[in-house]
Amino acid sequence: MVFGYRIGGLPLTTVQRLPNYLRVVREMHRAGREVVSSARLGELLRLDPVQVRKDFGLIGIVGRPKIGFRTSELVEAIEGHLNWNRVSAAILVGAGHLGQALLGYRGFANHGLEIRAAFDLDPRSGEVHGIPVHPMHELEARLPELGARMAILTVSPEAAQEAARRLAAAGIEGIWNFTGATLDLPPAVIVQNQDIAVGLAVLSARLSAQGRVVPAPIGEVPV
């Protein structure tokens, strides 16, 4: 598999479900609801209740029979596992359309992410949505003072590898790669690919399979 497939002891699939749990459980908590059952969460998120309980067990949360899980404990545990309960500094590289949209996204505050600065070959205005945009050649010089471990990469696919190499050389530990290019970096650098083409591919394939009769495998008789 492409990377270790247990993240800090948790299965990847569990980690992927955590932000969804967090969203609805935070909402309930804010609304004053103190407990919630796995059945209710499963209904809201379209998950099997057993899966919800297994996931919660993995992050160390025990529920109470007949009662459910305490929303406050859940929020705390999930935030802790994702490290979303403290602020992480990040930079953004490539202030094009997508980069600017991410600079304007308010939701990162809920995820412990603070974009401190952006870099671009052509930093037109010098700031976007209140975040300073610096010329790309100042990257290495400015990085130390920014205290960012993580970079959001939104340059063109062609420019991706070289930008990523510079980020890695400058000490960035994790790259959130929106470019769609496959990055070749030292294994110590964590690369998280966020290629929207993948999601579009799944949607396209589901739509085009929609209503079409899937031929039964040889040897099986259609019911």
Find the shortest distance in angstroms from Cβ 85 to DNA: 22
- State how far the alpha carbon of 19 is from the alpha carbons of 22, 23, 82, 183, 203, in Å: 5, 6, 9, 26, 21
The CA distance from 39 to 177, in Å, is 35
Residues whose CB falls within 8 Å of the CB of residue 219, separated by 6 or more in sequence, listed in order: none
122 binds, among DNA, a copy of itself, none (CB under 5 to 8 A by kind): none
CA–CA separation, 196 and 157 (whole Å): 13
Is residue 96 a known part of a binding site? Answer: yes
From the list DNA, a copy of itself, none, partner contacted by residue 49 (C-beta under 5 to 8 A by kind): DNA
CB of 100 to a copy of itself, least distance (A): 7
CA distances from 35 to 45, 46, 78 (A): 16, 19, 15
Q: Cα separations (Å) of 129 from 64, 95, 109, 156?
A: 45, 11, 14, 21
Piece of 29-37, 67-75, 133-141, 192-200 that binds a copy of itself (CB under 8 A): 192-200
Among 8, 31, 32, 66, binds DNA (CB under 7 A): 66
Rule CB under 7 A: say whether 12 interacts with DNA. Answer: yes
180 binds a copy of itself per the rule CB under 8 A: yes
* Positive/negative CA dihedral, 183, 189, 176, 94: negative
Residue 108 burial class via C-beta count within 10 angstroms: exposed 0-12, middle 13-18, buried 19 and up: middle
Binding site as annotated, residues for NAD(+): 94-99
Binding site as annotated, residues: 94-99
Residues that bind DNA (CB under 7 A): 1, 5-6, 11-14, 37-39, 47-51, 53-54, 56-57, 62-69
Residues that bind a copy of itself (CB under 8 A): 2-3, 6-10, 12, 15-16, 18-20, 23-24, 44-47, 81-84, 88, 97-98, 100-101, 104-105, 107-108, 111-113, 149-150, 173-174, 176, 180, 182, 190, 192-210, 212, 214-215
